[in-house]
Structure 1
Amino acid sequence: MLLLTLLAVLLAQALSSVIWVAQLRATQLEGLVTSARSLAHSMVASVSYIRSLPVAYRPMVLEQLRSMGGTRFVVTLNDKPLDMNVLPRTPRKDAVIDSVGEILRAKLGDQVDVSVQFVAPDDLRIFNSGLKLEELPRSWAHYALTLEPVNPPILVTQIELGEGEWLYIASLLPEPYTSLEEQGLPAQQVAFIVMTSAFLLLFIGLLVHWQSRPLKRLARAARELSLGAEVDGPAVDGPVTEGGGSEVVEVARAFNAMRERISRYLTERSQLFSAISHDLRTPITRLRLRVELLEDPDLEARFSRDLDELELLVKGALQCVKDTDIHENIEPVDLNHVLDCLVEPFLSPLGNGTVTLDGRARRPYSGKPLALKRCIGNLIDNARKYGKRAHVRIEDGGKVFTLHVDDEGPGVPEQRLEQVFEPHFRLAGGQQGYGLGLGIARNIAHSHGGEVTLQNLREGGLRVTLVLPRG
């Protein structure tokens, strides 16, 4: 969110800066053209004044002007146009040259030969002899044509007054158009963009942090709820704190209501099956006593068989509820100790036991001790019961604890890999059991945020993988 916001801020600032610079340059160009036209009118006035003087007096008047300190222009009379190295053309230079040339031709006549150029101060030539600016007395031209340390380009206009007589006018453009360079973003504007972007990102970062804190609390509460732990709120064992935006508050409120309903449902379920266990065992026992009083052995056998099936169903249902019950405190579980207790009865000093164990858990796992023992025990028992041998292998990474249980049985058909997790489903009909082991193991894994999966091995047998995330 911060990266997208930063991108949006940069794009918005870039767009606004481009628009602002374009408008600034358009305004500056308009002001530059206006100044150039004003400068051209002043040139026209100077040309008209020089023209009004007798030819013999013109050099004398210009000499007196130079001796007095000159004017805003450096004006000389030459017998031919001076050849100088002109500066490369740019849009601003072209605008000035076109505007000055247009005014001069409009006021002096189209038949007048006019040359307008921009020349660098080092390449400037003033008199017929080609003197440089630095070779002249400072009072003659330096004050009018230099602006240290900028050294701006000089506008040189040469106008033919008559045959062998060219009026030379050199001048600088007025401020702020002296340099004629297109300026980018001013330093103040760049600083303003950086400051506004930094403040905007700071406030958005605080907003994201403020909104993400209740979401993190909600995620932790949901994770701990899956393990059956009480969620810490503002008070011990309290509900999730409702905070953040209105949508986050609604989610937290709905989560608290959902947790309350789940807790009430689990309590009622536990009470229900406790009542069922108590209420059904007594009549079944009475029925067995009455069956024993029957005189017909065949009828007694049929009644006994029906009562056995009924008791098997009751015990299976109660075992399913008991083994998947989540009413157990979360605490660090030493998985190595759990596995040692489960595997030890089946190990043989000669190495030909029905269970082998490879690998060790790096550190304790936060979970429900009895539930985890039932889960792993069911996986090992299934491997021994249906695959003759169980080969247990541990892969404990930094974030996930993985347990592989391989057997040497016939495996499970691919189309039945998910069906075997259903309650009371058994592939081997002749085996004893309720068909609940794998389903109970998967339910316990789910309550810890993990998973149990099945995979047929190429060399034969079935691999059951238990994955438990740490966190």
Structure 2
Amino acid sequence: MSRLRTERRWRLPWPRSLLGRMLLLTLLAVLLAQGLASLIWLSQLRASQLEGLVASARSLAHSMTASVSYFRSLPVAYRPMVLDQLRSMGGTRFVVSLNDRPLDMQMLPATPRKKAVIEAVEQVLRQRLGEQMSISVEFVSPRELRVFNSGLKLDELPRSWAHYALTLAPLDPPVLVTQIGLAPGEWLYIASLLPEPYTSLEEEGVPGQQIGFMVLTSTFLLLFIGVLVHWQSRPLKRLARAARDLSLGAAEVEPVVEGGGSEVVEVGRAFNAMRERISRYLTERSQLFSAISHDLRTPITRLRLRVELLDDEQLQHKFSRDLDELEMLVKGALQCVKDTDIHENIEPIDLAQALHGLIEPYLGTGQVTLEGQVLAPYPGKPLALRRCMGNLIDNALKYGQRAHLRIEDGDQAFVLHVDDEGPGVPEQRLEQVFEPHFRLAGQQQGYGLGLGIARNIAHSHGGELTLQNLREGGLRVTLSLPRTGD
């Protein structure tokens, strides 16, 4: 149980409004599309960069083969002089020397780009110089670079040529070191940098311009979708307000203005047609029950007068009892319709004041207790809700001697618990007690309409009325009225 509560606590909240959900889904779709597009673009960019890098490496390898061929064609006595001329040139991005053995240096860790460059250089050198040549190609950090057999570091060499040739401060790029065995005891050493823009050999991430473009397009789309959804949702909000007013039994509900998309227009048109049918039905029902009330009361009154003229008292008593029962059924039916079809305007109700007005006569006797507070007014029909809560309190006092009221109010709903100290209701009869004229064994008071009327009033406000037998004895009646449409 604690684990489930922890998971629920850390679960991301899902927006409840249509605007919030549309913006969230749009943002996720945009980020997914932009991410996939950026990955495809970045993979193509890196492929083209790798292709250019390999081409530059091959070009550099061709230059190396030309240098090797030139050195091999020179007499041995001229080679040191040519090396001195190369060193005095300055500004070049390579250093050449002759050593009596290959220099041993620490190689940099291999990466896909470094491997591609080394393979391309070795392939060209072996194709042009021959497979039998001793060739070593590797990348070395400038801090670990050695140029001569003496083991001099790059910083220890004259800055007029070697240092400027092999460094690009502050990048400090890796140096490509190629050592080729020309003859026994004679190794040609070539240290060089790759040309721009491949000097660093590092794979770049998504450029800042691409990230800025993603942020700009996402913001524009969210603003556009937000305005569009807000514009399209206005007819739905008007429809929701009209539907709530109609469900609360407002006397006059104006037709909904038909607007928005074609689907929303169809919904508004259907609602207006339904509103007209319901209004016509309520009017006809009110007229029907008024006629029934008039038509039934008149013959009942005539029958009572005729019963009074009977000489047989026993027969007179039987007729009177039947007429009383018939009159009670008629009054009960009319009262049920009257109490659940109260035509009132919807207005903010101070439920705390309404409750205190209902329980004030019992506060001195200790029959009624009240706990909790009402946080905000509730929009509804004042007389109907007062009758609903009054029926619950009267029912608890009538069948349970005492009524203990507890309020639980919040942003989502107003909840009122009414507990009594009576015998409760059998579990199989919890739903039957809401039916008109239903009474449990031993209950003979009233018409048996209180709970049914209270539940109908709760339903008309979008709420619910439930019953629950308490473990310690008694019955709990819970009235729940939602605040979601406020």
Give the structure-1-normalised TM-score. 0.86
Structure 2 vs 1, CA of residues 15 and 297 (structure 1 numbering), >3 Å: closer, same or farther? same
**Aligned residue type for 1:40:** A
Q: What residue number does 1:124 align with?
A: 145
**Aligned residue type for 2:108:** L
Aligned residues: 461
Single out whichever of 122-131 and 33-42 deviates more from structure 2: 122-131
CA contact (8 A) 1:116 1:156 kept: yes
TM superposition shift of 1:439:
0.5
Query: Deviations along 1:151-186, whole A, 9 cap, x unmatched?
Result: 322222111111222222222212211111111112
Query: Deviations along 1:35-66, whole A, 9 cap, x unmatched?
Result: 11111111111111221222222223333444
TM superposition shift of 1:443:
1.0
Distance 1:67 1:461 in 2: 108
Q: What residue number does 2:409 align with?
A: 397
Q: What residue number does 2:424 align with?
A: 411
TM superposition shift of 1:445:
2.0
CA contact (8 A) 2:397 2:403 kept: no
User: 1:256-335 alignment to 2 at 5 Å?
Assistant: 256-294=272-310, 300-335=316-351
TM superposition shift of 1:70:
8.1
CA contact (8 A) 1:75 1:167 kept: yes
Partner of residue 187 from structure 2, selected from 157, 160, 166: 166
Pick the structure with greater CA Rg: 1
Q: What residue number does 2:399 align with?
A: 386
Instruction: Give the gaps of 5 or more residues in structure 1.
Output: 232-236
Distance 1:452 1:127 in 2: 96
Give the structure-2-normalised TM-score. 0.84
Structure 2 vs 1, CA of residues 238 and 47 (structure 1 numbering), >3 Å: closer, same or farther? same
Q: What residue number does 2:113 align with?
A: 92
CA contact (8 A) 1:359 1:395 kept: yes
CA contact (8 A) 1:445 1:452 kept: yes
Percent identity reads 78
TM superposition shift of 1:113:
0.9
When the two chains are superposed, the root-mean-square deviation of aligned CA atoms in Å is 3.0
TM superposition shift of 1:302:
4.5
CA contact (8 A) 1:411 1:461 kept: yes
Structure 2 vs 1, CA of residues 300 and 184 (structure 1 numbering), >3 Å: closer, same or farther? same
Matched, 1:75 2:96: yes
Single out whichever of 38-47 and 255-264 deviates more from structure 2: 255-264
User: 1:54-453 alignment to 2 at 5 Å?
Assistant: 54-68=75-89, 73-142=94-163, 144-229=165-250, 238-294=254-310, 300-335=316-351, 338-339=354-355, 342-343=358-359, 351=365, 355-359=367-371, 362=374, 365-387=378-400, 389-395=401-407, 397-399=409-411, 400-428=413-441, 431-453=444-466
CA contact (8 A) 2:90 2:165 kept: no
TM superposition shift of 1:323:
0.9
**Aligned residue type for 1:465:** T
CA contact (8 A) 1:335 1:361 kept: no
Single out whichever of 327-336 and 258-267 deviates more from structure 2: 327-336
Distance 1:342 1:75 in 2: 105
Distance 1:196 1:396 in 2: 46
Distance 1:358 1:71 in 2: 94
TM superposition shift of 1:319:
0.9
Structure 2 vs 1, CA of residues 172 and 405 (structure 1 numbering), >3 Å: closer, same or farther? closer
Query: Deviations along 1:401-444, whole A, 9 cap, x unmatched?
Result: 44444444332111101101011211146614322121011111
Structure 2 vs 1, CA of residues 56 and 402 (structure 1 numbering), >3 Å: closer, same or farther? closer
Distance 1:456 1:426 in 2: 17
Partner of residue 48 from structure 1, selected from 46, 57, 69: 69
Partner of residue 30 from structure 1, selected from 51, 60, 76: 51
User: SS of the residue aligned with 1:425?
Assistant: coil
Partner of residue 21 from structure 1, selected from 42, 59, 62: 42
TM superposition shift of 1:34:
1.4
**Aligned residue type for 1:452:** L
CA contact (8 A) 1:77 1:167 kept: yes
Query: Deviations along 1:299-329, whole A, 9 cap, x unmatched?
Result: 5555444433332222221111111113112
Distance 1:64 1:334 in 2: 101
